[in-house]
């Protein structure tokens, strides 16, 4: 059963273009120039109950805008969306009680008050029974290891501790759907790992549906089996984590451990050398030529060990974004050429 359904969802903004200089600023008081920003361009998406889905894309791709649409913070320019049968931007109380939104760069806790005071406010907002509230609060703070920090003002907490408090506040009312926007941004490796472990356990234990945006590929690899890649407001990939590597990477990374007296000279003819630190070397080899290339290397060199791996996920995602940017630039150039040709034809006519 699809718990999140998007059909042709789009969102555009009209942005004022302020010109440089005093004269231009004065002119702008009487005649303003605007441009349209298409943050989300007619996306279709279905997410099933209990899925943990990564929503990836470069800055400005439309990830956060989509989460804001799904949480009802903003309304769309076109298309439809339903989450658990509700239209998010209608902001029905019945819907608000069933989802939570956590944004890594925005706080929902009172800065100068202890977190437990903000938790009490959430209890009143969501009308959580006292016994259920105490049980859920103790369970969450126990799992996150922050029970001893509840009386400490939020401003005195570390970034990692504040994020754990934010997650606790978001989950106090036991939502069915959780939207996470960069939950580990700026955190150190230890804090990232602890939050990853918590989210993984909580999602599996409660079977809630989670949509995660993150620039940290370790978050994605640790938590998500399904990946949705959005760029320029459009979905470019929707499938498994392994499938994205197969679809957008044309090479494998081969690590060779040579015998101590064996030179690696001439290795460049088998692929692109990434690292050459004798007796170890690493090179990129085309997927289609992998078997043939390995056979040729083993026939010519004394190799003690071979490791064949997929390229890092960060590299694959980055190459995908670069390709989308290149294609978008080509489309814009072609459209510009067409408009110029049409204008020229009109002038002749």
For residues 100 and 178, the answer to whether their CB atoms sit within 8 Å is yes
- Residue 332 domain-assigned (yes or no): no
CATH of the domain at 233: 3.40.50.300
- Residue 339 domain-assigned (yes or no): no
Same domain for 277 and 205: no
For residues 207 and 174, the answer to whether their CB atoms sit within 8 Å is no
Same domain for 180 and 263: no
Would strands 2-16 and 34-48 be described as parallel, antiparallel, or unpaired?
antiparallel
- Residue 83 domain-assigned (yes or no): yes
Tally of domains in the chain: 2
pLDDT exceeds cutoff 60 at 48: yes
pLDDT exceeds cutoff 50 at 348: no
- Give the Cα separation of 46 and 10 in Å (integer): 15
Instruction: Quick: pLDDT tens for 101-126.
Output: 998 877 889 989 999 999 999 999 99
Q: Is 266 left (phi over 0), alpha (psi -120 to 50) or beta?
A: left
- Residue 86 domain-assigned (yes or no): yes
For residues 114 and 146, the answer to whether their CB atoms sit within 8 Å is no
- Give the Cα separation of 152 and 114 in Å (integer): 5
Least confident of 30-44, 154-168, 286-300, 333-347: 333-347
Same domain for 58 and 189: yes
Rounded to the nearest integer, the mean pLDDT of the chain is: 87
pLDDT exceeds cutoff 90 at 30: no
Same domain for 256 and 111: no
For residues 208 and 223, the answer to whether their CB atoms sit within 8 Å is no
For residues 236 and 247, the answer to whether their CB atoms sit within 8 Å is no
Same domain for 273 and 206: no
- Residue 169 domain-assigned (yes or no): yes
- Residue 329 domain-assigned (yes or no): no
CATH of the domain at 269: 3.30.70.1150
Residue 25: both structure tokens together: 């600023």
Same domain for 301 and 237: no
pLDDT exceeds cutoff 90 at 81: yes
Instruction: Quick: pLDDT tens for 259-269.
Output: 877 777 888 89
Domain containing 257 equals 250-309
Instruction: Quick: pLDDT tens for 126-146.
Output: 999 999 999 999 999 999 999
Contacts of 49-52 with CB under 8 Å at 24 or more apart are: 49/1, 49/2, 49/3, 49/207, 49/209, 50/203, 50/207, 50/208, 50/209, 51/209, 51/210, 51/226, 52/203, 52/209, 52/210, 52/212, 52/223, 52/224, 52/225, 52/226
- Residue 188 domain-assigned (yes or no): yes
Q: Stretch 50-54: mean pLDDT, rounded?
A: 94
Same domain for 254 and 145: no
- Residue 277 domain-assigned (yes or no): yes
Given pLDDT bands bounded at 50, 70 and 90, which one contains residue 349? very low
Q: How many helices (H) and strands (E) does the chain have?
A: 11, 13
């Amino acid at each position: 059963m699809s718990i999140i359904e998007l059909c042709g969802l789009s969102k555009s903004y009209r942005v004022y273009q302020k010109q440089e200089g005093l004269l231009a600023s004065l002119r702008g008081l009487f005649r303003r120039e605007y441009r349209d920003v298409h943050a989300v361009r007619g996306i279709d998406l279905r997410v099933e109950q209990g899925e943990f889905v990564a929503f990836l894309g470069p800055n400005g791709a439309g990830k956060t805008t989509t989460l804001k649409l799904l949480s009802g913070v903003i309304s769309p320019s076109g298309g439809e969306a339903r989450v658990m049968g509700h239209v998010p931007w209608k902001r029905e109380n019945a819907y608000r009680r069933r989802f939570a939104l956590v944004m890594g760069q925005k706080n929902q806790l009172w800065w100068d008050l202890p977190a437990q005071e903000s938790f009490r406010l959430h209890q009143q907002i969501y009308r959580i029974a006292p016994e259920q509230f105490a049980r859920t609060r103790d369970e969450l703070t126990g799992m996150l290891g922050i029970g001893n920090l509840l009386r400490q003002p939020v401003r005195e907490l570390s970034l990692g501790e504040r994020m754990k408090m934010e997650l606790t506040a978001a989950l106090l009312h036991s939502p069915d759907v959780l939207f996470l926007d960069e939950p580990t941004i700026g955190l150190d490796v230890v804090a990232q790992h602890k939050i990853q472990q918590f989210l993984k356990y909580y999602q599996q234990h409660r079977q809630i549906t989670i949509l995660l945006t993150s620039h940290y590929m370790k978050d994605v690899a640790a938590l998500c089996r399904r990946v949705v890649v959005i760029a320029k407001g459009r979905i470019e990939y929707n499938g498994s984590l392994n499938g994205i590597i197969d679809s957008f990477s044309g090479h494998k990374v081969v690590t060779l451990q040579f015998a101590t007296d064996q030179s690696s000279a001439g290795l460049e003819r088998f692929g692109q050398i990434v690292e050459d630190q004798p007796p170890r070397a690493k090179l990129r080899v085309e997927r289609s030529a992998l078997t043939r290339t390995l056979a040729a290397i083993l026939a010519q060199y004394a190799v003690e060990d071979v490791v064949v791996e997929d390229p890092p996920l960060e590299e694959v995602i980055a190459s995908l974004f670069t390709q989308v940017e290149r294609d978008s630039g080509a489309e814009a150039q072609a459209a510009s050429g067409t408009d110029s040709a049409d204008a020229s034809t009109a002038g002749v006519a």
